[in-house]
Amino acid sequence: MQIKTLIVPGLIALASSTAFGFSNGAPVMRTGAEVDGGLDCTACHRTFAPANSDPRGKLWITTLADYKPGVKQTVKVQIQHPEANRWGYQLTARLASNPARKAGTFTAVANVTRVQCAGGAPEGNCGDNLEFAEQTQPASFAGQGGGASWEIEWTPPAAGSGDVIFYFAGNAANNSNSNAGDYIYTRSAKIGEDGACNLTDTPRITGLQNGASFWPGPVSFNSIVAVFGTGFQRAGGTSNGGEYLNDQTFPKKAGCVAVEVNGTRAPIAYAQFNQINAQLPTNTPQTGSTQVRVIANPGQTNERRSDPFTIQVASAAPGFFRLLPTPCIAAIKVDTGEISGDPSLLDFAKPSKAGDVVSLFATGLGATDPIWQAGEIAEGPSRAAGNITLEFNGQPVDRANILYIGLVPGAISGLYQINMRIPNSNIRPNAHNELRIRIGTDILSPEGSTLYIAPN
């Protein structure tokens, strides 16, 4: 399971030449795309550089799940920031198979959308040159608080073009008519081509396990699971759901496969030939059993459905992510940001000791407050709602040492984080200390996940 952070480090670079009204559209090639040299608006708007440095703001796009070749659609760019009151963006569309090439065309709309071209081509008429859609001066919404959104007309490329990547940057500005004091964000997102899936095998499910502990017992709604089997992708093919975020939500199809749980599509985090990591839908039953299918080429005439696979479900089914193949729980030392673990097993890890605060990662901890739908990004602290205790070597950890149990802000809503101060009592130095999660009285995470404690 890849825990993908959404914060991408930006680049600080010197401004380039061309001078014109920037609130009326920035110079081209400033979305942060590596293929364009990696520059973004922080080349000039440097106060809070690098891009994405302020987690209070966010930038995202909404499109159709798949584009229809040649059929015009809207791409909506949205930005929010609690302090900003003027806004701007730049958006470019490229072929995923060759990001140096444009994918489709944007339409300029008077007073709303400018379309600037690379290579000196006239504005709004780029020909084969790269295109960059941007806000016009009136569409910078001077004085408007909270956020802004723009609907950009985009005509996708011809059939057979495959996945498209949008690279985009946004400016949450302070309406100073200058390049100072503005927050810059950059992102990218892929979309697929409608009707282009051609997986040839019929998928077959052989197992479904907690995606953190790989325990084969029951699994619970909103938790991350690993589905095992065959025919999920072409040999060697992989697909990363986090690259297809649309409207801040993980996709219900990635790499041409979908997972259906009790008839509901599950958001997909990752897919390869023999494994899919998915998040169980929020409406998954909480007792008894239910059925899962994997569907290749979903929704197309060449759709192929696996036989149903029966799983046991529960109201919670906790498990820690581990640094496999070791028993070490995936943990970060909060004061230094280092990975906590046994350095004799993991040369990059540092041992923790009593008094250290660690963040531990898990899934399956049940309902949260607020609750997020499966596939959504938790936008802020969201505490686990159940009665959860931790047990170190079989003894409960004092409540005062448990600082937070809930979702990881900014991550998929099935990823939980526990912030704990390592207690002085019930731990053994220079040893692996078993840690378990108890929910209510009866639900326990599996044995064998440990926190290594440093020698005295």
Closer residue to ligand HEC (CB): 21 or 355: 21
Nearer to ligand HEC, 7 or 15 (CB): 15
The answer to the question of residue 117 lying near ligand HEC (CB under 6 A) is no
Q: Is 32 in the site for ligand HEC (CB under 6 A)?
A: no
Positive or negative CA dihedral for 227, 230, 234, 235?
positive
Rounded to whole angstroms, the Cα distance separating 260 from 281 reads: 9
Residues 294 and 159: their CA atoms lie apart, in Å, by 26
Q: Is residue 44 close enough to count as binding ligand HEC by CB under 6 A?
A: yes
80 binds ligand HEC (CB under 6 A): no
Question: Per rule CB under 6 A, is residue 26 in the interface with ligand HEC?
Answer: yes
- Give Cα 255 to chain centroid, integer Å: 16
Q: 435-451 burial string, b = 16+ CB within 10 Å, else e?
A: bbbbbeeebebbeebbb
Instruction: Name which of 110, 143, 248 is nearest 185 in CA terms.
Output: 248
Residue 45 as a binder of ligand HEC (CB under 6 A): the answer is yes
- Report the 10 Å Cβ neighbour count for 255: 26
89 binds ligand HEC (CB under 6 A): yes
Q: Classify strands 331-333 and 357-363 as parallel, antiparallel or unpaired.
A: antiparallel
Rg of the chain, C-alpha, whole Å: 24
Site for ligand HEC in 179-238 (CB under 6 A): 179, 182
DSSP codes, 95-147 = ETTEEEEE-SEE--BTTTEEEEEGGGPPTT--TTS-EEEEE-SGGG-TT--SE
Region near ligand HEC per CB under 6 A, out of 165-173, 212-220, 223-231, 253-261: 165-173
Q: Report d(CA 340, CA 348) in Å as an integer.
A: 9
By the rule CB under 6 A, 10 interacts with ligand HEC: no
Q: Which residues have CB under 8 Å from 361's CB, separation 6+?
A: 3, 212, 320, 321, 329, 330, 331, 408, 415, 416, 417, 418
149 binds ligand HEC (CB under 6 A): no
CB of 172 to ligand HEC, least distance (A): 9
230: amino acid identity, one letter: T
Stretch that binds ligand HEC, among 60-68, 82-90, 155-163, 387-395 (CB under 6 A): 82-90
Query: Which one, 43 or 271, has the nearer CB to ligand HEC?
Result: 43
Select 175 or 413, whichever has its Cβ closest to ligand HEC.
175
CB distance 436 to 364 below 8 Å = no
Site residues (CB under 6 A) for ligand HEC, limited to 349-408: none
The phi-psi region of residue 195 (left if phi > 0; otherwise alpha if psi is between -120 and 50; otherwise beta) is left
Told to check if 174 binds ligand HEC by CB under 6 A, we report: yes
Q: Which stretch binds ligand HEC (CB under 6 A): 168-176, 272-280, 334-342, 429-437?
A: 168-176
DSSP-derived 3-state class of residue 242 = helix
One-letter amino acid at 229 equals G
- Which of 86, 114, 253, 293 binds ligand HEC (CB under 6 A)? It is 86
The interface region with ligand HEC, picked from 156-164, 176-184, 216-224, 338-346 by CB under 6 A, is 176-184
Q: Which residue, 77 or 390, is less far from ligand HEC as judged by CB? A: 77
Of the pair 109, 402, the CB lying nearest ligand HEC is at 109
Least Cβ distance, residue 32 to ligand HEC (angstroms)? 9
Q: Which of 78, 80, 113, 175 binds ligand HEC (CB under 6 A)?
A: 175
Using the rule CB under 6 A, is 171 a contact of ligand HEC?
Answer: yes
How many residues sit in the footprint of ligand HEC (CB under 6 A)?
28
- Position 29 contacts ligand HEC (CB under 6 A): no
Closest CB 50 distance from ligand HEC, rounded Å: 13
**Are residues 449 and 435 in contact, defined by beta-carbon separation less than 8 angstroms?**
yes
Provide the binding-site residues for ligand HEC, judged by CB under 6 A: 15-16, 21-23, 26-27, 30, 41, 43-45, 86-90, 140, 169, 171, 173-179, 182
